[in-house]
């Protein structure tokens, strides 16, 4: 039976510009190696068969903001980013980044 779950993951553009293979991580811990130049816009996890949609973001934004299960804004990891993974940040660090990202969004809307 196929797993029909779909996962969306963000990838920093800088990570796929070089000639090095890029490893996409699934929520289950599975890893998928993508060889350059990246042509896939989705891959399937070999471990849990979840379809992973790859959303490439130009450059290295560090983090993106999304909506958590509780409806509150939450930080999402950008794979391939040089920034610290979110699960390695303290609560204070996470809040500071979240605030910064929110301020950026406000700044852009006001322009």
Can you give the binding site for Zn ion, defined by CB under 5 A?
26, 28, 30, 45, 47-48, 50
Q: Smallest distance from the beta carbon of 96 to Zn ion, in angstroms?
A: 31
Q: Smallest distance from the beta carbon of 9 to Zn ion, in angstroms?
A: 11
C-beta closer to Zn ion: residue 6 or 82: 6
C-beta closer to Zn ion: residue 3 or 104: 3
* DSSP string covering 76-98: EEEET-SSPPGGGS-HHHHHHHH
Give the separation between CA 11 and CA 13, rounded to whole angstroms: 6
C-beta closer to Zn ion: residue 29 or 71: 29
Neighbours of 87 (CB within 10 A): 7
């Amino acid at each position: 039976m196929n797993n029909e779950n779909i996962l969306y993951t963000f990838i920093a553009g800088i990570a796929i510009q070089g000639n090095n293979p890029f490893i996409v991580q699934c929520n289950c811990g599975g890893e998928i190696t993508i060889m350059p130049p990246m042509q896939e816009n989705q891959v399937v996890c070999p471990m849990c068969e979840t379809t992973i949609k790859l959303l490439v973001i130009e450059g290295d934004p560090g983090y993106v903001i999304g909506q958590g299960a509780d409806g509150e804004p939450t930080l999402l990891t950008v794979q391939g980013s040089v920034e610290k993974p979110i699960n390695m940040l303290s609560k204070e660090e996470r809040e500071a980044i979240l605030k910064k990202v929110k301020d950026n969004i406000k700044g852009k809307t006001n322009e």
